[in-house]
């Protein structure tokens, strides 16, 4: 038997019912605005990932650099306090 269940075992009928409830709660125009905002956010996120990759920066390298600079600042401030 072929199952048409989607995520969390929800079938097409259940997903349509949930979609109908969302439309009633938020309205069709509001759902369009939410979709535009999500799409814009995804595009910006991808653009930032692409820009970082072009510059040779990765999130891991940035995190290490921030940690190292924070550690160095802490060491420097501890020397000035003594």
Can you tell me the mean pLDDT for 5-28? 84
Confirm if 23 and 31 have CB atoms less than 8 A apart: yes
Could you give the CA distance from residue 21 to residue 11 in angstroms, rounded to a whole number? 16
Give Rg (Cα) of the chain: 24
Residue 52 burial by Cβ neighbours in a 10 Å radius (0-12, 13-18, 19+): middle
> 44 falls in which pLDDT band (50, 70, 90)?
very high
Can you tell me the mean pLDDT for 29-53? 90
> 47 falls in which pLDDT band (50, 70, 90)?
very high
Q: Taking 70 as the threshold, does the pLDDT of residue 22 lie above it?
A: yes
Q: Tell me how far the alpha carbon of residue 22 is from its chain's centroid.
A: 22
Percent of the chain surpassing pLDDT 90:
23
Confirm if 37 and 29 have CB atoms less than 8 A apart: no
Is the pTM above the cut of 0.75?
no
């Amino acid at each position: 038997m072929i199952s048409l269940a989607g995520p969390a075992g929800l079938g097409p009928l259940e997903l349509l019912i949930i979609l109908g409830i969302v439309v009633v709660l938020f309205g069709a125009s509001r759902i369009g605005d939410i979709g535009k905002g999500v799409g814009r956010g995804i595009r910006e996120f991808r653009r930032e990932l692409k820009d970082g990759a072009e510059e040779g920066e990765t999130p891991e390298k940035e995190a290490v650099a921030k940690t190292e600079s924070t550690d160095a600042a802490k060491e420097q401030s501890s020397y000035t306090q003594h």
